Amino acid sequence: MTQASWSQLLRPPAGPVDLTAVDPRATPGFTGKKADGQAALLALEPTITDLQERLYAHGRTDGQRRLLLVTQGMDTSGKGGTMRKTVGLMDPQGVVIKAFGAPTDTEKRRGFLWRIRQALPPGGKVGVFDRSHYEDVLVARVRSLASKATIERRYDAINEFEQELAESGCVVVKVMLHISRDEQKARLAERLDNPTKYWKYNPKDIDDRKLWDDFQHAYEIALERCNTDTAPWHVIPADRKWYRNLAVAHLLVEHLEGMGLSWPPADFDIEAEKARLAVS
Amino acid sequence: MTQASWSQLLRPPAGPVDLTAVDPRATPGFTGKKADGQAALLALEPTITDLQERLYAHGRTDGQRRLLLVTQGMDTSGKGGTMRKTVGLMDPQGVVIKAFGAPTDTEKRRGFLWRIRQALPPGGKVGVFDRSHYEDVLVARVRSLASKATIERRYDAINEFEQELAESGCVVVKVMLHISRDEQKARLAERLDNPTKYWKYNPKDIDDRKLWDDFQHAYEIALERCNTDTAPWHVIPADRKWYRNLAVAHLLVEHLEGMGLSWPPADFDIEAEKARLAVS
């Protein structure tokens, strides 16, 4: 990575997005194979840990800056695996993971961003969303859960919300885990073949799978409409799990580095405290 | 570990507890050195991951069983390090960490167990408390934050609460991280010497340190009064960080194994779903 940043590499260019033009087996920015990629991920651990600890320290001294990782993708695209392998590199004390299912009636009444705002990370923490407010322009669009006019308004509402988030000190990192239709089939088949994975299988996944093209199209629109400079989208080729994990780790490192956090200074008299400790 | 379990080894015997008789540098149940202990911890990762995934799967299929790890100890005893190194072995999706500071006025009005109940893990999750309801018989006793009669009643209230927890499917694992007074001094000195650790230092820690014997005595009483068969205490010699991490990991493994969780069966027709997938 001597040239473009991972963020630049993975961000779709402005304008209409064509997901069929993005190879889900590609490994942009990395020329090695699986074992190299796995080693590269583990090699990032000290860096990511150091950066995250700075953010945590910032929060512990009343700092308001924070990071939000938004993960989206079709069923089996690897949101859970990314949590285990990449998010799992971080200190769990500084991570808040929130998974969003179908909204409850109460949540619906309060507007689609209400439950999202409730789940935002506090200062110093890394928040991770497993699905997000984007479901309200993805599944909502594909299954007509809201009127077209409502969905149209939501793209703007999301952009405004993310702008507000950024202005309040929250760095937003959005990743779409991009798998192929064939890879999804293989992963679903594995869940049906392996009794230790039955619990991961949901017959509704096939219903969604039948609407594959509609979902891809809904993603393309969201990726175009909400690809702002403040909170850009990243499309992660995700058929190779090791690449997916590595790419998300690099995005976290880049964005944490970009925050430029230094260690909080002492808010006490160091020499006086040393003297107190000495006689204690 | 061919004889006693780690839980048996680390649980104080019934009756009065004398913490001065427990060597904080001891390594009960382990004869190796630091590098061996660190390797042994990493070697536990596949086991702990498998067990935790079973619990998570149980929760995802509406199971109500869960585990609560309660950590207590003097300042610098390593609660945070245990989170990073041992709790950090687990899938962050299945872990909920809650740190308890001094109670707010609202929390005080609602009784000392109210905020604890709010923070209990849902089915399938591993909850981790960084400090807990025990603060209400530790710091509360040492600093007379409640009347003697109130504190007396709290031991029984805690035992009843933990019994109720166990009956509702929550396995309670309580660990007291036991460091020496000298080790605390060294760790506080390190925080004052290292600018990347200033944020961890709090002048109040010296105030508590001056009450070392009172705190140890308050621990001894809590360790005696709340050492029930349902929710036994474990005293972890914690001057050696690697041993502390390893011992807590073994306790987690033992208790997760003790839950005897099998993988949830399919709640759908496997062959029918395979057929649906094949044509999708």
Token look-up 């439950």 returns A115
Q: Which of A189, A199, A273 sits opposite B60 (nearest CB)?
A: A199
Question: Residue B189 has which token pair?
Answer: 């000195």
Would the pLDDT of B2 be above 80?
A: no
Q: Which of A87, A90, A188 sits opposite B277 (nearest CB)?
A: A188
Q: What percent of chain B has pLDDT over 90?
A: 99
Instruction: Give the pLDDT confidence of A121-169 residue by residue, as tens digits.
Output: 999 999 999 999 999 999 999 999 999 999 999 999 999 999 999 999 9
Judged by CB atoms closer than 8 Å, whether chains meet at B199 and A84 is answered as: no
Q: Which of A120, A56, A59, A133 is nearest to A94 (CA)?
A: A56
Q: Smallest CA–CA separation between A199 and chain B, in Å?
A: 6
Judged by CB atoms closer than 8 Å, whether chains meet at A84 and B93 is answered as: yes
Predicted confidence band of residue A3 (pLDDT cuts 50, 70, 90)? low
Would the pLDDT of B1 be above 50?
A: no
pTM: 0.96
Q: What percent of chain B has pLDDT over 70?
A: 99
Mean pLDDT (chain B, rounded): 97
Q: Which of B111, B136, B223, B211 is nearest to B178 (CA)?
A: B223
Helix (H, G, I), strand (E, B) or coil at A14: coil
Q: Smallest CA–CA separation between A52 and chain B, in Å?
A: 12
Angle at B185 between CA B181 and CA B189, to 5 degrees: 170
Q: Which residues of B touch A95 (CB under 8 A)?
A: 92
Task: Classify B181 in phi/psi space as left (phi over 0), alpha (psi -120 to 50) or beta.
Answer: alpha
pLDDT at B4: 83
Q: How far apart are CA A195 and CA A201, in angstroms?
A: 10
Q: How far apart are CA A56 and CA A81, in angstroms?
A: 24
Q: Smallest CA–CA separation between A51 and chain B, in Å?
A: 12
C-beta neighbour count of A3 within 10 angstroms: 7
pLDDT at B3: 63
Q: Which residues of B touch A87 (CB under 8 A)?
A: 92
Burial A94-124 (b: 16+ CB within 10 A, else e): bbbbbebeebeeebeeeebeebbeebbbebb
| Helical spans, DSSP H, in A172-240 | 181-193, 204-210, 212-225
Mean pLDDT over residues B128-146, rounded? 98
Judged by CB atoms closer than 8 Å, whether chains meet at A91 and B88 is answered as: yes
Residue A279 phi, psi (nearest 5)? -95, 5
Mean pLDDT over residues B178-187, rounded? 98
Residue A259 phi, psi (nearest 5)? -75, -20
Instruction: Give the pLDDT confidence of A98-129 residue by residue, as tens digits.
Output: 999 999 999 999 999 999 999 999 999 999 99
Mean pLDDT over residues A272-277, rounded? 98
**Strand ranges (E), chain B:** 66-73, 95-99, 126-130, 170-178, 233-237
Mean pLDDT over residues B171-178, rounded? 98
Predicted confidence band of residue A4 (pLDDT cuts 50, 70, 90)? confident
Q: Smallest CA–CA separation between A276 and chain B, in Å?
A: 7
Mean pLDDT over residues B108-112, rounded? 95
Judged by CB atoms closer than 8 Å, whether chains meet at A276 and B203 is answered as: yes
ipTM value of the model? 0.94
- Note whether B237 and B227 are within 8 A (CB): no
Q: How far apart are CA B26 and CA B246, in angstroms?
A: 13
Predicted confidence band of residue B170 (pLDDT cuts 50, 70, 90)? very high
